[in-house]
Amino acid sequence: MNKSAAKHRTDLFLFFSRVCCYIVLILVTLLCLFSFYFLIVNASRPHAEIMSEFSLVPGNYFFKNLSNLLTDKNIPLLQGLLNSLIISACSAALTTYFSAMTAFGIYAYNFRFKKIAFAFIMMIMMIPTQVSALGFIRLVSDMGLMDTFYPLILPSIASPIVFYYMKSYMESILPLEIVEAARVDGSNEFRTFNRIVLPIIKPAIAVQAIFSFVASWNNFFTPALILSKQKTVPILIATLRSADYMKFDLGKVYVMIFVAIIPLLIVYILLSKYILRGLTLGSIKG
Amino acid sequence: MQQIAKNKRSISYAKWGYLFISPFFIAFIVFQLIPLISTFYNSLYEYYFENLRYVGPNFVGFKNYMDIIANGELFKYAENTMIIWIIGYIPQILVAMLLAVWFTSYRLKLKFQTFFKTVAYMPNLIMASAFAMLFFMLFGNGGPVNMMLQELGITDEAILFFDTTVTTRGIIAFMNFIMWFGNTMILLMAGIMGIDQGLFESAQIDGANSFQVFFRVTLPLLMPIIAYTVIVSMIGGIQMFDVPQVLTNRLGTPDRTSMTLIMWLNRHLTQSINYGVAGAVSVIVFLTTTVLSVFVYRSLMKNYNSQKPAVKRIKKQEVKG
């Protein structure tokens, strides 16, 4: 009798705990999402309405705003999207391929400077790119590569964080017997890496390709220093901010932000299962 | 037969190791190391653009460093950066910890976890510059937030969010919080799930309540990973740039109270060109992050070494190089 009363009490306590948790979770969700909701609402309303009244209901002006934006010759949005796409896709491809290659080199082979090479890569992991920006601009301009995409793509070959992830992944999944078996079958090492190792670590490559793409897509600091005539999406956004925005059609401004943010979020939501699962692999564990 | 085996063993694969890691090191040396050295070098020279011409480069030793320390600019912008980081980091770690404990709790067994985790991590992927532009629009004088506050009767006149230090810093910090708490939460969850479940069970059998379990078991065991997230976030905080840059249109308004170190660096690289000062700021930021990353390096290496026993089994069969 006494026992069941105690059980009843803990059940009740658990119920209230859960209710509190859900309330907090809903509040946090609202905090995360309110700005996107406002974005969607205002991107679908005409300028005059945005200026005059507050609304929580989306309008039906989204496609008109979008076509206004696309026909605006002062904002080369399509070109910007294309530039961003080229830079991000190339960076993602280079980062994942060469990080996997570096990781495989250190994982699968024994050589004299192996330990030092590994320790060195781990040490440079946290160096911010900004601190070498001055030297970087001067080097790029000496090379005659200002306002080109190469200085934004090629440095991604050396990415310590992706390397570390790839190496951890290989350690957890790639037995070296496979490499040796391929060797016995007469495959050369490079071929083994491309034909056997890469397919095995495909999940890691996919996760890191997404992250590298996003990082490059969102990058603002370096492209803003290197590019002048060519523009990427973040540069276009910053230009919009420095222009006297009150003169702008606000519908266009909201649609522009929408285009910069929402497509990527949709891709994220579709792939979130894999992204969230992949996140913790290769990271520090307690 | 024995002869063949012997021959095979003597083939050295070391050169493949070097070949595979060489692209990384070439790219690193060209695009990071040489620029870094050149930055160091520039920090010792007087080299700036004024009245339509370049002055320098003339060797001046540590004068650039002395100048930015003497005129107080370095400390002012370092202080701005730290304050904004701290205001954002406190809610970040608290919310991340709370949610991580709830999501991993065996007693609570919360539903819709995937949904909440997806939402929490989502802002981390957003283009920071576009996010800043969005907040500028939302919190502007005629923006929806002010309209809503007026409609609800909370305020009569529009609140000038970007004309006040507290609100500007607060908005930047809030955006950092929203963008990074999901990331911290996922790291902490991985840490909690790495703790031996038996410890939680025995604590519960001993009659510990949730608070006691958290403060006596979870928190102490999670300390290394908490320290790791703090340091990594601090290194990230020092690099704060996109959000305040776009939000305040490069100016760090009001009165440069939201100007961060990297915004200041960027200013010397693009607007009021002064390579000497830019170099000095870079070196100082570099040294600060290096000191902090010694800690990150140590915890990552410790983590790596502690995982080794599991790996050794495979490594035993490793080919001799």
Q: How far apart are CA B312 and CA B317, in angstroms?
A: 9
Asked, for residue B4, whether it belongs to a domain, the answer is no
Asked, for residue B54, whether it belongs to a domain, the answer is no
Assign 3-class secondary structure to chain A.
Answer: CHHHHHHHHHHHHHHHHHHHHHHHHHHHHHHHHHHHHHHHHHHCCCHHHHHHCCCCCCCCCHHHHHHHHHHCCCCCHHHHHHHHHHHHHHHHHHHHHHHHHHHHHHHHCCCCCHHHHHHHHHHHHHCCHHHHHHHHHHHHHHCCCCCCCHHHHHHHHCCHHHHHHHHHHHHHHCCHHHHHHHHHCCCCHHHHHHHHHHHHCHHHHHHHHHHHHHHHHHCCHHHHHHCCCCCCHHHHHHHHHHCCHHHCCHHHHHHHHHHHHHHHHHHHHHHHHHHHHHHCCCCCCC
- Say what the pLDDT of residue A27 is: 95
Residue B154 and residue B26 in one domain: no
The residue among A167, A172, A88 whose CA lies nearest residue A121 is A167
Three-state DSSP at B46 gives strand
Q: Is the pLDDT of residue B147 over 60?
A: yes
The maximal CA–CA distance of chain B, rounded, in angstroms, is 94
Residue A38 and residue A92 in one domain: no
The residue among A253, A261, A254 whose CA lies nearest residue A217 is A261
Q: How far apart are CA B90 and CA B266, in angstroms?
A: 27
Q: Is the pLDDT of residue B25 over 70?
A: yes
CB atoms within 10 A of CB B6: 9
Asked, for residue B219, whether it belongs to a domain, the answer is yes
Query: CA nearest A240 in B: which residue?
Result: B133
Domain that holds residue A39: 2-61
Tokens linked to A88: 């991000």
Asked, for residue A280, whether it belongs to a domain, the answer is no
In a mutational test of the A interface, the residue from B18, B21, B148 whose CB has the highest number of chain A CBs within 10 Å is B21
The residue among B51, B39, B107, B4 whose CA lies nearest residue B272 is B51
Q: How far apart are CA B290 and CA A118, in angstroms?
A: 17
The residue among A155, A223, A158, A134 whose CA lies nearest residue B283 is A134
Q: Average pLDDT, stretch B130-159?
A: 89
Residue B36 and residue B138 in one domain: no
- Say what the pLDDT of residue B316 is: 40
Asked, for residue A278, whether it belongs to a domain, the answer is no
Q: What is the value of ipTM here, to two decimals?
A: 0.91
The model's pLDDT over B43-91, given as tens digits with 9 standing for 90+, comes to 999 888 887 878 878 888 898 899 999 999 999 999 999 999 999 999 9
Residue B155 and residue B254 in one domain: yes
To the nearest whole angstrom, how far is the Cα of A4 from the nearest Cα of chain B? Answer: 18
Residue B26 and residue B113 in one domain: no
Asked, for residue B123, whether it belongs to a domain, the answer is yes
Residue B178 and residue B291 in one domain: yes
Asked, for residue B3, whether it belongs to a domain, the answer is no
Instruction: Please give the single-letter amino acid code of residue A135.
Output: G
Give the residue with greater pLDDT, B168 vs B63: B168
Asked, for residue A272, whether it belongs to a domain, the answer is no
Q: How far apart are CA B171 and CA B234, in angstroms?
A: 18
Asked, for residue A219, whether it belongs to a domain, the answer is yes
Domain that holds residue B268: 68-315
Residue A41 and residue A106 in one domain: no
Residue A99 and residue A156 in one domain: yes
Instruction: Please give the single-letter amino acid code of residue B18.
Output: Y
The model's pLDDT over B248-285, given as tens digits with 9 standing for 90+, comes to 999 988 889 999 999 999 999 998 888 999 999 999 99
Residue A117 and residue A89 in one domain: yes
| Average pLDDT value over all residues in chain B | 86
Residue A193 and residue A92 in one domain: yes
Q: Residues 129 to 188 of B: which have CB under 8 A from any A CB?
A: 129-138, 142, 144, 147-148, 151, 178, 186-187
The residue among B240, B253, B249, B254 whose CA lies nearest residue B271 is B249
- Say what the pLDDT of residue B321 is: 34
Asked, for residue A99, whether it belongs to a domain, the answer is yes
Q: How far apart are CA B289 and CA B224, in angstroms?
A: 19
Residue A32 and residue A164 in one domain: no
CATH number at residue A202: 1.10.3720.10
CB atoms within 10 A of CB B158: 15
Residue A103 and residue A55 in one domain: no
Contacts of A104 in chain B (CB under 8 A): 20
For chain A, how many structural domains are there in total?
A: 2
Residue B179 and residue B275 in one domain: yes
Length of chain B measured in residues: 321
Residue B23 and residue B82 in one domain: no
The model's pLDDT over B281-309, given as tens digits with 9 standing for 90+, comes to 999 999 999 998 888 888 777 776 765 54
- Say what the pLDDT of residue A5 is: 72
- A156 neighbors A91 (Cβ within 8 angstroms): yes
Residue B37 and residue B159 in one domain: no
Length of chain A measured in residues: 286
Three-state DSSP at B240 gives coil
- Say what the pLDDT of residue B307 is: 58
In a mutational test of the A interface, the residue from B137, B177, B233 whose CB has the highest number of chain A CBs within 10 Å is B137
Q: How far apart are CA B167 and CA B87, in angstroms?
A: 12
The answer to whether A112 contacts chain B (CB < 8 Å) is yes
The residue among B277, B215, B211 whose CA lies nearest residue B57 is B277
What percentage of residues in chain B have a pLDDT greater than 90?
Answer: 51
Residue B311 banded pLDDT, cuts 50, 70, 90: very low
Q: Mean pLDDT: which of A49-53, B4-8, B90-94 is highest?
A: B90-94
Query: CA nearest B114 in A: which residue?
Result: A273
Contacts of A65 in chain B (CB under 8 A): none
Residue A191 and residue A218 in one domain: yes
Residue A113 and residue A234 in one domain: yes
| Chains A–B, number of C-beta pairs less than 8 Å apart | 335
Q: Is the pLDDT of residue B33 over 90?
A: yes
CATH number at residue B304: 1.10.3720.10
- Say what the pLDDT of residue B317 is: 40
- B222 neighbors B188 (Cβ within 8 angstroms): yes
Q: How far is CA B246 from its chain centroid?
A: 18
Asked, for residue A201, whether it belongs to a domain, the answer is yes
- Say what the pLDDT of residue A286 is: 32
Q: Which run of H or E residues covers position B49?
A: strand B45-50
Residue A40 and residue A128 in one domain: no
Per the CB < 8 Å rule, is A285 touching B286? Answer: no
Contacts of B238 in chain A (CB under 8 A): 128
The answer to whether A244 contacts chain B (CB < 8 Å) is no
Q: How far apart are CA A17 and CA A240, in angstroms?
A: 47
Residue A227 and residue A131 in one domain: yes
Integer-rounded Cα Rg, in Å, for chain A is: 25
Residue B163 and residue B31 in one domain: no
Q: Average pLDDT, stretch B102-109?
A: 86
DSSP output for B180-230: HHHHHHHHHHHHHHHS-HHHHHHHHHTT--HHHHIIIIIHHHHHHHHHHHH
State the Cα torsion A102-A105-A108-A114 to the nearest 10°: -110
The residues of chain A scoring below 70 in pLDDT are 1-3, 245-246, 280-286
Q: Which run of H or E residues covers position B269?
A: helix B261-270
- Say what the pLDDT of residue A141 is: 93
Residue B125 and residue B268 in one domain: yes
- Say what the pLDDT of residue B11 is: 67
Residue B247 and residue B145 in one domain: yes
Residue B171 and residue B22 in one domain: no
Asked, for residue B169, whether it belongs to a domain, the answer is yes
Q: Which run of H or E residues covers position B57?
A: strand B53-59
For chain B, how many structural domains are there in total?
A: 2
Asked, for residue A185, whether it belongs to a domain, the answer is yes
Q: Residues 35 to 64 of B: which have CB under 8 A from any A CB?
A: 35-39, 41-42
> What helix, strand, coil percent values describe chain B, rounded to 5?
75, 5, 20
Q: Is the pLDDT of residue B163 over 60?
A: yes
Phi-psi region at B109: left, alpha or beta (left = phi > 0; alpha = psi -120 to 50): left
Nearest to B225 among A108, A135, A286 (CB): A286
